Amino acid sequence: MSAPETTQNKAAGPLPKPKNQELWRMANALRALAMDAVQQANSGHPGMPMGMADVATVLFKDFLKYDAADPNWPDRDRFVLSAGHGSMLLYGLLHLTGYSGIGIDELKRFRQLGSPTAGHPEYGHAAGIETTTGPLGQGIATAVGMALAERMMAARFPGLVDHKTYVIAGDGCLMEGISHEAISLAGHLKLGKLIVLWDNNSISIDGGTDLSVSDDQVKRFQAHGWKTYSVDGHDTDAVTKALKAAQRSAKPVFIACRTTIAFGAPTKAGTSASHGSPLGPEEIKGARERLGWNYPPFVVPDEIRKPWLDAGKRGASKTATWRRKLKKDANRAEFERRVAGQLPDGWQAGLDALKAKYVADAPSLATRQSSNQAIEAILPSLPEFLGGSADLTGSNLTKGKNQKPITPDDFSGSYVYYGVREHGMAAAMNGLALHGGFIPYGGTFLVFTDYCRPSIRLAALMGIRVIYVMTHDSIGLGEDGPTHQPVEHLTSLRAMPNLQVFRPADAVETAECWALALSTPKTPSVLSLTRQNVPTLRKDVAENRSAKGGYVLAEAEGTRQVTLLATGSEVTIAMAAREMLKAKGVAAAVVSLPCWELFDAQSEAYRQTVLGQVPRISVEAAATYGWERYIGDKGESVGMTTFGASAPIGDLYKHFNITAEHVAGVALSKI
């Protein structure tokens, strides 16, 4: 209908006559609500919702499989607004199609404290918001995980799962590096039920996208194995034709929709001025005139609201048919359990047996090895357990012996080879968890949580069960040197709200930490695991002692004079220091703190009993920052204050003075 306008502050003439009057009026309702909400909030992004209104209208009216009255219907299509700054597009769609929780009053409270209509879509704030978006690229990458989950669930529950994942993405989503990882993985796996609609408006915050990028996005997606189409995003017939073709594709589909940002605005359409600021009263007045929208702010007349509400009810018959099918399905109970995220009865039996074996045999194992044995113990009783690694399977030890890999032709397996795509892997795991039916875990080195961090943060923000198996967790990895030796990473991760960071001391604690990660449905977990062997320190498994985050592993013999605090491999060092102190007549207790977050959640009385009222010395082969919360003014931390170095493990611990002798010496100086 219209090529993008590029001249700022030049009044535009009348808009071309639309091909479909009903779709035109429906799309204008989205535009008007976006203009009004952003203007009332005096904050937001009106341009993207106005530009993509035609595309979204066609999608929600004629293609998306959903039921506004049953928003969590498991076989619904998923819709992801990757360009999350345009959140008013999603809120307008949910409001107009009849989703509960997004009434007109919520639109009027756009971006206000406590409102479900937040500045960017937030998972859990309202029905119909499938994932939290805002950090660009996260939405499209998360959607890859959703599409993968659909294919895998369809392989396990044929006849019950058959839906698509739709994404609206912007230029920023495609510029972010995570998009490269995501679309490459999707193309490789031939995720044919994934459809991305690109808001190709050629505008970024700084100005035209030609300031910074000249990629041919269509050719790029083709190179990654996607089917592509290019359409005028304001031509509803062209959008309809492309979406019809996309339904039949065996490959993921990319539809480049040429649009005008702030379509309809008289002077700001096609300009960066409409990207992240209210249009202003005069511009909105002019846009209403050009669009033929002669209604007050936040008013949508019944004759325009009705086709939207009808669209929201369109999937009701499909929902009812599906639920009747579910009632007759032999696998109904298992399907419902998995979708609900409930663990099966007896799922811990394998772990319990494994812990008993550790106590009996007292093996010396790297915790990455005992983690692998825990995975082996979990797999038989937890069919939704889905593993993977970012091309480090043999190092992370994330694959069970009998785990079958996912391939483009067979989605019945339970292991994903993500390739060297740490960021994409973490985001895809978010999508797998959000879709339902799987508990994803994936591995890389702890140092590479730097690549995963944005996705880990979103998992914590959304409150979903994703497990990160992060091995080679300290200078103990040795010769690979400081580029691979994590120093500040534990501190950084522990600073993140709603994230459990586990650093087990031995095989028993590793099994306990796996059990805790799996049994926490609304909190993601990081398992920080060693490359080097550590002895079995625990002699009791009657209870999961790691569940309290910290506990006295070895009490002082006599009246406690000092407390040695440690995590992971350094608990062994603390135990050796305890023996040295004992030989000098000093009674020392050793406290293992496998999870600070769980320890901090305990009562003050419990924590003080564990820590004691004596000097406290912490030891951890990582940055000492943060330990002051436990050691107090009279204690001292033994750890890293610099980056690591390339050398054998024994030389490194001596070089950085993280030894039992040094810990004992520090303890003696404090009593």
Domain residue ranges in the chain? 21-320, 349-534, 545-670
Residues 21-320, CATH architecture: 3-Layer(aba) Sandwich (3.40)
Return the structure tokens found at 459: 């998992």
Q: Which H or E run contains 616?
A: strand 616-623
Are 178 and 99 within 8 A, CB to CB? no
Query: Which pLDDT does position 14 carry in this prediction?
Result: 85
Other CB atoms within 10 A of residue 393 CB: 18
Return the structure tokens found at 322: 């599906």
Query: Which pLDDT does position 381 carry in this prediction?
Result: 97
As a whole number of angstroms, the distance between CA 599 and CA 371 comes to: 22
Query: What would the mean pLDDT of 319-336 be, rounded to a whole number?
Result: 98
What count of Cα atoms within 13 Å lies in the side-chain half-sphere of residue 439? Answer: 28
Of 422, 512, 620, 636, catalytic? 422
* Domains 21-320 and 545-670 belong to one CATH topology: yes
Return the structure tokens found at 605: 């009385």
What would the pLDDT profile of 605-622 be if each residue is shown by its tens digit? Answer: 999 999 999 999 999 999
Can you give the pTM of this predicted structure? 0.96
As a whole number of angstroms, the distance between CA 476 and CA 367 comes to: 12
Query: What would the mean pLDDT of 251-264 be, rounded to a whole number?
Result: 98
522: Cβ contacts below 8 Å, ≥ 6 apart: 463, 464, 465, 498
Residues above pLDDT 90, as percent of the chain: 97
Query: Which pLDDT does position 8 carry in this prediction?
Result: 41
pLDDT band at residue 3 using 50, 70 and 90 as cut-offs: very low
CATH topology of domain 349-534: Rossmann fold (3.40.50)
CATH class of 545-670: alpha beta
Q: To the nearest 10°, the Cα dihedral for 25, 28, 33, 35?
A: -160
Query: Which pLDDT does position 12 carry in this prediction?
Result: 72
pLDDT band at residue 5 using 50, 70 and 90 as cut-offs: very low
What would the pLDDT profile of 154-212 be if each residue is shown by its tens digit? Answer: 999 999 999 999 999 999 999 999 999 999 999 999 999 999 999 999 999 999 999 99
What would the pLDDT profile of 55-113 be if each residue is shown by its tens digit? Answer: 999 999 999 999 999 999 999 999 999 999 999 999 999 999 999 999 999 999 999 99
- Give the CA distances from residue 634 to residues 105, 610, 666, in Å, rounded to whole numbers and listed in that order: 55, 17, 12
The secondary structure of the chain in percent helix, strand, coil, rounded to multiples of 5, reads 45, 15, 40
Strands 562-566 and 616-623: parallel
pLDDT band at residue 7 using 50, 70 and 90 as cut-offs: very low
Is 422 in the active site? yes
The residue type found at 232 is D
What would the pLDDT profile of 448-465 be if each residue is shown by its tens digit? Answer: 999 999 999 999 999 999
